[in-house]
Amino acid sequence: MKANSFYIKQLLLGIDVLVNNAGLYKTCPVADMSVGEFRNLIDINLTSPMVMAKECIPHLRKTKGSMLHISSVGGERVRAHPRT
Tens digit of each residue's pLDDT (9 = 90 or more) over 37-49: 999 989 988 898 9
Per-residue pLDDT at 70: 87
Residue 83, domain member (yes or no):
no
| DSSP H or E run through 18 | strand 17-20
Tens digit of each residue's pLDDT (9 = 90 or more) over 21-80: 878 777 788 889 999 999 998 998 889 899 889 988 988 998 899 999 887 766 566 666
Helix spans in 13-72 (H): 35-42, 48-63
How far is 26 from 48, CA to CA, in rounded Å?
A: 17
For the cut 60, the answer to whether the pLDDT of residue 1 exceeds it is no
Residue 81, domain member (yes or no):
no
Residue 22, domain member (yes or no):
yes
Per-residue pLDDT at 37: 92
Q: Taking CA 51 as the corner, what is the angle to CA 50 and CA 54, rounded to the nearest 5 degrees?
A: 85
Domain that holds residue 12: 2-74
Per-residue pLDDT at 12: 63
- Residues 81 and 33 sit within 8 Å (Cβ to Cβ): no
Residue 58, domain member (yes or no):
yes
Residue 82, domain member (yes or no):
no
